[in-house]
């Protein structure tokens, strides 16, 4: 049941919204679990039972035992939560239009066509697709059926090492990797594994042949989908250089969805969880410039007043779709739950969920490679 939000919610003051949400949470008790991604705004983040990155939250949803999961994130995250929870759990996204621009780069039909094109080009070579968690469930399903796995920004290197390892050593035995949908994470991962940028080619789904010749596909090691996260394109090498000029001893840490030249010029690169741990583990007086979504950076600064923490860029790097999850929508779904109605449920079709679960579970079972660090560049 997907209804438009009543205008009365948008007319409420922030104080009234906060008061009513707290009351609804009390009334619903353990039957509801609210999850919030690190990029969520504080006004919503404060009501979360659990916080984290997309995969951590999906796992928490599966372990919560709650009848209702209210996911304050974006659509693909709610899909992953639905895949990993039982049929008796309803996953709710307060605003269904809260999508992901990065996931939008890789539509299922385009991915299926790309795998067919690449498979024909490589002949007897083995290609293993790797889908970043920021992708639609249908894309994860295609990858799972093709023998591939999902990855997160924190374990992309480990998953790609698995793909290229011999089957005798527990790997997938791939000659090359088809990485989607983030070209920057794919390139940064390849370089972190010791490959060169020239070992990577870019597949453009807007072109019938992907913009690649058969020889280019056969001779490369990584085929990277032409997609990117607009939030992390805000950060530049010039900002890194300026931060170092203005703050002696500052540490620069960025998300690996940033362009390769930014990651190369930073001191560290890591997922949201890795960035948080790096800052938390640093001594008092530490100075950080962080290249990721502004809400998370601002929250880190408030939570660690003994450290100097700033956004790497001058202008906010905000996930606008995440911001669609707001107090009015959160109260609306909770009000409906109290009245026995489920609105904005995200439900993945059974056959798609089954294949997507293969890719997700394959990622989870891949053993970490020796020498991986918490914020590996």
Same domain for 114 and 174: yes
CA distance readout (Å), 366 to 69, 140, 166, 220, 227: 27, 16, 13, 24, 25
Question: Quick one: which of 304, 276, 303 has its CA closest to 290?
Answer: 276
Q: Give the pLDDT confidence score for residue 372 in this predicted structure.
A: 38
Q: Give the pLDDT confidence score for residue 29 in this predicted structure.
A: 97
Q: pLDDT, tens digit, for every residue of 95-139? A: 999 999 999 999 999 999 999 999 999 999 999 999 999 999 999
Contact criterion met (CB below 8 Å) for 312 and 259: no
**13 within domain boundaries:** yes
Same domain for 127 and 208: yes
Q: Give the pLDDT confidence score for residue 377 in this predicted structure.
A: 36
Same domain for 87 and 32: yes
- If pLDDT is split at 50, 70 and 90, which confidence band does 198 have? very high
Same domain for 290 and 245: yes
* Total number of domains in the chain: 3
Q: What's the domain range around 189?
A: 103-229+355-365
Same domain for 200 and 129: yes
Same domain for 127 and 223: yes
Same domain for 247 and 225: no
Q: From edge to edge, which strands make up the β-sheet containing 68-72?
A: 50-52, 32-37, 68-72, 90-92
Q: pLDDT, tens digit, for every residue of 273-312? A: 999 999 999 999 999 999 999 999 999 999 999 999 999 9
**Measured between alpha carbons, how far is 337 from 352 in angstroms, rounded to an integer?**
27
Question: Quick one: which of 69, 65, 62, 108 has its CA closest to 84?
Answer: 62
Q: pLDDT, tens digit, for every residue of 32-81? A: 999 999 999 999 999 999 999 987 888 888 899 999 999 999 999 999 99
pTM: 0.94
Q: pLDDT, tens digit, for every residue of 306-363? A: 999 999 999 889 999 999 999 999 999 999 999 999 999 999 999 999 999 999 999 9
Percentage of residues in the chain with pLDDT exceeding 90?
A: 89
Q: Is the backbone peptide bond immediately before 323 cis, with ω within 30 degrees of 0?
A: no
**373 within domain boundaries:** no
Contact criterion met (CB below 8 Å) for 195 and 174: no
Which residues, listed in sequence order, are joined to residue 290 by a DSSP beta bridge? Answer: 253, 311
- The tokens of 21 are what? 């949400």
């Amino acid at each position: 049941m997907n209804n438009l939000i009543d205008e009365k919610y948008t007319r409420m003051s922030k104080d009234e919204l906060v008061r009513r949400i707290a009351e609804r949470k009390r009334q619903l008790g353990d039957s509801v679990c609210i999850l919030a991604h690190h990029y969520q705004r504080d006004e919503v983040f404060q009501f979360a039972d659990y916080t984290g990155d997309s995969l951590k939250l999906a796992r928490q949803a599966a372990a919560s035992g709650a009848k209702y999961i209210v996911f304050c994130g974006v659509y693909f995250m709610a899909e992953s939560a639905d895949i990993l929870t039982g049929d008796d759990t309803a996953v709710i996204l307060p605003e269904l239009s809260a999508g992901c621009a990065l996931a939008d780069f890789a539509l299922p039909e385009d991915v299926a066509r790309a795998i067919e094109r690449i498979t024909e080009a490589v002949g007897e070579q083995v290609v293993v697709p790797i889908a970043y968690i920021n992708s639609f469930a249908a894309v994860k399903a295609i990858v799972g059926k093709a023998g591939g796995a999902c990855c997160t920004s924190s374990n992309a290197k480990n998953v790609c090492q698995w793909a290229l390892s011999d089957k005798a050593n527990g790997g997938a035995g791939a000659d090359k990797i088809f990485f989607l949908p983030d070209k920057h994470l794919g390139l940064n991962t390849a370089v972190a594994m010791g490959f060169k940028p020239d070992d990577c080619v870019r597949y453009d789904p807007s072109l019938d042949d992907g913009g690649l010749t058969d020889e280019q596909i056969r001779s490369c090691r990584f085929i990277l989908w032409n997609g990117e996260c607009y939030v992390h394109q805000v950060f530049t090498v010039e900002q890194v250089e300026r931060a170092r000029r203005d703050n002696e001893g500052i540490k620069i840490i960025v998300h690996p969805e940033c362009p390769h030249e930014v990651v190369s010029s930073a001191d560290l690169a890591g997922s949201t969880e890795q960035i948080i741990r790096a800052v938390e583990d640093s001594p008092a007086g530490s100075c950080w410039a962080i290249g990721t979504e502004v809400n998370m950076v601002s929250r880190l600064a408030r939570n660690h007043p003994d450290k100097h923490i700033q956004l790497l860029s001058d202008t906010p790097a905000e996930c606008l779709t995440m911001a669609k999850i707001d107090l009015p929508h959160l109260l609306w779904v909770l009000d409906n739950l109290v009245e026995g109605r489920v609105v904005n449920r995200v439900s993945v079709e059974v056959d798609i969920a089954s294949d997507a679960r293969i890719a997700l579970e394959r990622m989870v079972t891949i053993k970490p490679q020796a020498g991986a660090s918490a914020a590996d560049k």
